[in-house]
Chains A and B, each alone.
Chain A
């Protein structure tokens, strides 16, 4: 059973809103869900995190339903510089009751002029 599921790739155009969803199961109920952005030849960079409902900062919004089986990253008006790979990071539970930070496989977003 997959730990997380994200679309492999997405295409958009400048000025559009982009929503990327990560599906996840067996995650801790009281731990953050976090999204990161990665450019080529760089380490991932924090975008936003939350526990539940909706969180908004200066660059993105994060929607987490009550069952926490998914989360959606929303980029309001993308520009060419938003072309990157986006990862969800969840506290995934292994057998034995422990939780470890686990990255999704990433979604490659390409923004076109």
Chain B
């Protein structure tokens, strides 16, 4: 398996622009997570899905952030409009849960490094 795939790997944009980050989870995994990593706040859970349904989005910082999972093999995280404080590394992770627990082993993608100027 290719693992979790994220694109783009790097994104540089200007304040006010729309940014879309993409994730392809590992085939057969039923949980998908979006995290943001910064020096100040560490690894923060933004939102997670189970069987394509958003379960908890309390970590989404503002209405400018939205996430979708239209099918089991694809998810997007969109920021509109982007701001300099959104600069961070965004990780997608997936897991296959047999116990119904969201803390089963997560497999992370390589991340997208976002810079908003």
| A pairs with B | yes
Using a CB–CB cutoff of 8 Å, the interface residues on chain A facing chain B are: 30-34, 41-46, 49, 87, 89-91, 94, 98-106
**Is residue B42 contacting chain A, with contact meaning CB distance below 8 A?**
yes
User: Would you give the shortest CB distance from A95 to chain B, in whole angstroms?
Assistant: 10
Q: Are A100 and B110 in contact (CB under 8 A)?
A: no
Q: If A32-B103, A100-B56, A101-B103 touch, does A42 touch B45 (CB 8 Å cutoff)?
A: no
Q: If A94-B58, A100-B56, A103-B42 touch, does A32 touch B109 (CB 8 Å cutoff)?
A: no
Q: Are A46 and B45 in contact (CB under 8 A)?
A: no
Residues facing A in B74-117 (CB within 8 A) are 91, 93, 101-111
**Is residue B43 contacting chain A, with contact meaning CB distance below 8 A?**
yes
Q: Are A43 and B103 in contact (CB under 8 A)?
A: no
Using a CB–CB cutoff of 8 Å, the interface residues on chain B facing chain A are: 4, 33, 35, 42-45, 48, 56, 58-59, 91, 93, 101-111
* Complex CA–CA separation, A103 to B104 (angstroms): 13
User: Would you give the shortest CB distance from A52 to chain B, in whole angstroms?
Assistant: 14
Task: Determine the residue in chain B with the shortest Cβ distance to A49.
Answer: B105
Which residues on the A side are within 8 Å of B35 (C-beta)?
103
Contact of A43 among B42, B104, B111 (CB under 8 A): B111
Q: Are A46 and B106 in contact (CB under 8 A)?
A: yes
Q: Are A43 and B102 in contact (CB under 8 A)?
A: no
Q: If A101-B33, A102-B45 touch, does A91 touch B103 (CB 8 Å cutoff)?
A: yes
User: Would you give the shortest CB distance from A19 to chain B, in whole angstroms?
Assistant: 21
* Complex CA–CA separation, A33 to B110 (angstroms): 23
